[in-house]
Structure formats: structure tokens, C-alpha cells
Amino acid sequence: MKELLEKDNLLRPLQVGKIVEGRLTNKANSAVYLDLGAWGTGIIYGREFLAAKEELKRLKVGDKVFAKITDLENEQGYVELSLSQASSEIVWDGLREKKEKGEKVTVQIESANKGGLLARVSGIPAFLPVSQLSTENYPRVEGAESMKILSELQKFVGKEMEVTIFDLDPRDKKLILSEKAKEIEKIKELLKNYKIGDVVEGKITGVTDFGVFMKFDGEELEGLIHISELDWQLIENPSDLVKVGDKVKAKIISITNDKVSLSLKALKEDPWQDIEKKYKKDDIIEGQVSKFNPYGAFIKITPKIQGLCHVSEFGTKTQMEAALKLGNKYKFEILSVEPQEHRMSLKLAEEKK
């Protein structure tokens, strides 16, 4: 920093906002004076003196310090300076340099909230989101209940963590950390040994409302099996199908950077295969109303085949829910069957008079 400032000082004249180095020449009750060489004398006083009072107390005549110019020449002819603004700018510059180098930083966790952990880096408040926690420390909470997640996160308060700087914005005083970054390169290397379509074995390590995590046997690798990839039938709660500790086989369906997505249903027989031989357009079939959503009603035809009766067939969602009751069975007319898309469109069959 000093070398950069010296080079900058030779090339450019004094200007407001510039950081300069000065030697402390005098300390008064409410001001300190710095020798700025050819640029004259600088002063830190008033609001800026109060803002840096504790730091200034530790300084003695002859000490060199960095300060930021706030006024080129005041009424007394001094260059007005700010120690606190310079300190803050230097700190943020240091943090930016650490980010660019990918430098690891050790922080102590001060507190936790539902979104992650809070710490400080060089005195600057920083946030470590849940999504940036390492695989080892990620809270695997069944049902992803926020209070349970918070309870898990509170276990880290007071502990030290090795992190990198993920993002920063000095203007908004935003500093985001990542614990995950330290393992990304290692994971990328391990994933070079796998390709889409590979079948892998492993153990279920976590169950959430959006899917389950599976750790590969013999590897420090973990993949996500999204709820939609657990089975061909509609799954409401992943824990109904698998539990932590279960041994399973899964197929790799996606590898993106350090993330791998897996599928259990890809290894199961596709119930939609050759379905058009059994169900055809205009057929009248019986189905059970299994779920409502803003688009319509899901109708269970078989344990693993669901059709959709679109809300437009009724007019509004309220009218749809008045016409159909969850759990009840009705006759439906098939409007279309699309095996490749795993989609069947239905409408409520008209009662014969």
C-alpha cells in the first residue's frame, strides 16, 4: 500500500479523496497535525478527530499514518484530513485484494440467524449464508424448518471457521463470506472421474423438503437428489421414501462446476413407457384427486401416473375446488397423452343423462 501511495503521490497533485501518508508532528487537546512534506501541514480535528479519538490516543509524535484528504485548504491554511475514512478505505482495499487472491481468512462466529452466520473480518461485519457453508457444516434439517435450522446454526457461535471472501461492496458495507469455496476445487477434481449417465452407490446423509443428499461411497463427494427425481409418482415428503443412513444407487443426470445432480427414478422402470397403448385421447377413465395447485388439479390414475385437469376447465380455482374434492374419485376424459413429456391432460367427464 505504501509503495502504491508513493508512486501515486509523484504522479498526481493533491486532491480531495486522495489517501496520503504523513508524520505526526504535534498533538493538541482536540487536533493533531501531520507533516505532509512538500504539500504542507495536515490537520485532523473536529468531527474527524472524535471519529478516530481512540486510535489517535495511541499515536505519538514521529509516527507515520495514512489519512484521507477532505479539504485541500481550510481557513487556517491546513490540509484537512480524516484518519477514520482512510482506515476504512485501506481495510476495504485489503479485503478486495484477499478476494482477488482467494486468500483464506479465519473468523470467529459471533451470532446466527435463520439465513446464516455473522462474523467480522478486519473489524468489518460479515455474513456467511447457509448456502455457502461447507458440505460438512450444512444444516440437514428434515422438513427444512427455519427454527430447527437456526438451532443447528447456533452451534457454531463462538467457534472459528476458515473462509474466503465471496462478495463485497464497500458502498453498501456488504461483506459476504464462503466456507464452501475452499472445497470447490477439490470437488471439481473428483468430479472429473465421473460423467452423466454413471450409476453410483452411496448413503443418504440429509433429507429436506426439496430433496435428499447422497454421499458417494469412498469419496468426499455429495450430490442432490431433487424431490422430482426420487420416484415417478408424486412425492409430497421425501422422508416418506428415504431416511438418513439408507444405502441407495443413483444415476448422475447433471454435473455443473462443483455440483452433481442425481436421480433414483432414472433407475426405475418408467411407467409412462408405452402408456399410449393403454390410454388414448377421448378415453373415459377414473381418477382420484390428489392435489390442487394454481394450474389445476392433479389426478391419480395409477400409483405412479398422474394427470392434470387444468383450472381453465372450471373457470377459476375456487370453482375447481368446489367441483372436485381431495381424495374423491371422478370420471375424466383424456384430452391428450404425451409419454415423452410424462404428461396427461384431462377434463371432468360430463355425466350422461
> Cell triple for residue 205?
446423509
Identify which has the larger pLDDT, 84 or 149. 149
Percent of the chain with pLDDT over 90: 35
Q: What are phi and psi of 120, to 5 degrees?
A: -135, 145
Distance CA 233, CA 302 (A): 9
Compute the mean pLDDT over every residue in the chain, rounded to the nearest whole number.
85
- Which band of pLDDT confidence, cut at 50, 70 and 90, is reported for residue 353? very low
pLDDT value of residue 176: 92
pLDDT band per the 50, 70, 90 thresholds, residue 49: confident
Q: What's the pLDDT score for residue 136? A: 77
Q: What is the pLDDT of residue 11?
A: 43
- Which pLDDT tens digit goes with each residue over 271-288? 888 888 899 999 999 999
Q: Distance between CA 251 and CA 195 in Å, rounded?
A: 10
Residue 232: how many other CB atoms lie within 10 Å: 20
In the predicted structure, residue 5 carries a pLDDT above the cut 60: no
Q: What is the per-residue pLDDT for 134?
A: 82
Tens-place pLDDT, residues 134-176: 877 878 765 556 777 888 889 999 999 989 988 888 888 889 9
Say what the pLDDT of residue 247 is: 95
**pLDDT tens column, 199-245:** 999 999 888 888 899 999 988 888 999 998 999 888 888 888 999 89
pLDDT in tens, 18-32: 888 888 999 888 888
Chain segment 106-138, per-residue pLDDT in tens: 899 999 998 899 998 877 889 998 878 887 787
Looking at residue 109, its pLDDT comes to: 92
In this predicted structure, the answer to whether residue 183 has a pLDDT above a threshold of 80 is: no
The pTM score is 0.54
CB 118 within 8 A of CB 110: yes
Rounded percentage of the chain residues whose pLDDT exceeds 70: 93
